[in-house]
Amino acid sequence: MPQLLLRGIELGDVQAVLFDKDGTLSISEPQLITLAQARVFLCLEQVEAALRPGLKDLLERAYGLQPQAICPAGITAVASRDHNLIATATALVQVGLGWPEALAISEAVFAEADARDARRGQTGEVNTSATTDGLHDCLEQLTAAGVLCAVISNDAMAGIEHFLSRHGLASHFSALWSAEHHPRKPDPAAVHGLCAQLGVAAARCALIGDANSDLRMAVAAGIPHQRALGYVAAWRSPPPLLEPHPRIHAWSELAVRS
Ligand SMILES: [Mg+2]
């Protein structure tokens, strides 16, 4: 069985590597900044002027939106679209709106922000995240050694497939687990569901992610601690990961020995 190595240190035999997408396979920060800014802008348009400063502050803090960065542990970076929508509605309630109105505004704002994003794509502007540096070589090395690769993400299936096909990566991945699968990340049963698709045991996998929720989920699912790996190179400010997990600073640090 292929042996996985990190900076030359043996991490054990693996049959599969499960990759988070946003902030691990992809450099998502520029797109997430644009998306979060659009959601803030559209929300502010929906409320009376007196409420806007307070709402802007609440939304920016909830989204983890900073002038040129997104907090890697915040909801824009980590949570699914519907969790972001609930957080938005909560901010609207906090400035005085009723829940039904807050939810309706949030749904309309998210739909419009998505439509703007789609229009940017149609006009040729880049709306697909870049891959993290050195990813292609790493995936080629893993698949050439017979290690199965899979994606475990809270993005929608269409978003995962679009990203992979846009970068010519789809053929490297044997299975995908999206926000539409049940249960979704970070439930450890999501790892078990994906492992069942791959036909491998969780104990024979590695999982690579940029969020503590990814790493906790991996260990809870039965992936050995030393193979729940934190990827830290996709953000301007490195994600605040749990200390005991090994970190990957560049894909070239990862190697496989057949
Ligand atoms: Mg991530």
CA of 101 to the centre of ligand 1 (A): 31
State how far the Cα of 101 lies from the Cα of 19, in Å rounded to an integer: 38
Instruction: Please check whether residues 53 and 13 belong to one and the same domain.
Output: no
What CATH number did the domain enclosing 18 receive?
A: 3.40.50.1000
The pLDDT of residue 5 is 98
CA of 121 to the centre of ligand 1 (A): 22
CA of 235 to the centre of ligand 1 (A): 10
State how far the Cα of 56 lies from the Cα of 138, in Å rounded to an integer: 41
Instruction: Please check whether residues 245 and 118 belong to one and the same domain.
Output: no
Report the pLDDT averaged over residues 69-88.
92
Residue 73 pLDDT greater than 90, yes or no: no
The pLDDT of residue 52 is 98
User: Which of 88, 122, 156 is where one domain is finished?
Assistant: 122
Residues 6+ positions from 147 with CB-CB distance below 8 Å: 2, 4, 14, 15, 16, 17, 256
Residues 6+ positions from 148 with CB-CB distance below 8 Å: 15, 16, 17, 174, 175, 198, 200
State how far the Cα of 153 lies from the Cα of 181, in Å rounded to an integer: 10
Instruction: Please check whether residues 146 and 237 belong to one and the same domain.
Output: yes
CA of 63 to the centre of ligand 1 (A): 15
CB atoms within 5 A of ion ligand 1 belong to 20, 22-23, 210
The pLDDT of residue 127 is 64
CA of 20 to the centre of ligand 1 (A): 5
State how far the Cα of 114 lies from the Cα of 110, in Å rounded to an integer: 6
Task: Return the amino acid letter for 224.
Answer: P
**Predicted confidence (pLDDT) per residue in 220-255, tens digit:** 999 999 999 999 999 998 899 988 899 999 999 999
Q: Identify the domain containing residue 86 by its residue range.
A: 29-122
Report the pLDDT averaged over residues 183-195.
97
Instruction: Please check whether residues 101 and 174 belong to one and the same domain.
Output: no
Report the pLDDT averaged over residues 117-127.
68
State how far the Cα of 242 lies from the Cα of 30, in Å rounded to an integer: 25
**Predicted confidence (pLDDT) per residue in 13-65, tens digit:** 999 999 999 999 999 899 899 999 999 999 999 999 999 999 999 999 999 99
CA of 48 to the centre of ligand 1 (A): 35
The pLDDT of residue 87 is 98
Instruction: Please check whether residues 22 and 136 belong to one and the same domain.
Output: yes
CA of 52 to the centre of ligand 1 (A): 30
Q: What is the pTM of this model?
A: 0.87
DSSP-assigned beta bridge partners for residue 5: 10, 255
Instruction: Please check whether residues 137 and 10 belong to one and the same domain.
Output: yes
Q: How many domains does the chain have?
A: 2
The pLDDT of residue 58 is 98
CA of 256 to the centre of ligand 1 (A): 23
CA of 212 to the centre of ligand 1 (A): 9
Instruction: Please check whether residues 191 and 244 belong to one and the same domain.
Output: yes
Instruction: Please check whether residues 190 and 215 belong to one and the same domain.
Output: yes
User: Which of 83, 105, 122 is where one domain is finished?
Assistant: 122
CA of 16 to the centre of ligand 1 (A): 18
CA of 178 to the centre of ligand 1 (A): 12
CA of 97 to the centre of ligand 1 (A): 32
Instruction: Please check whether residues 95 and 153 belong to one and the same domain.
Output: no
Q: What percent of the chain has pLDDT over 70?
A: 97
pLDDT class of 78 with cuts at 50, 70, 90: confident
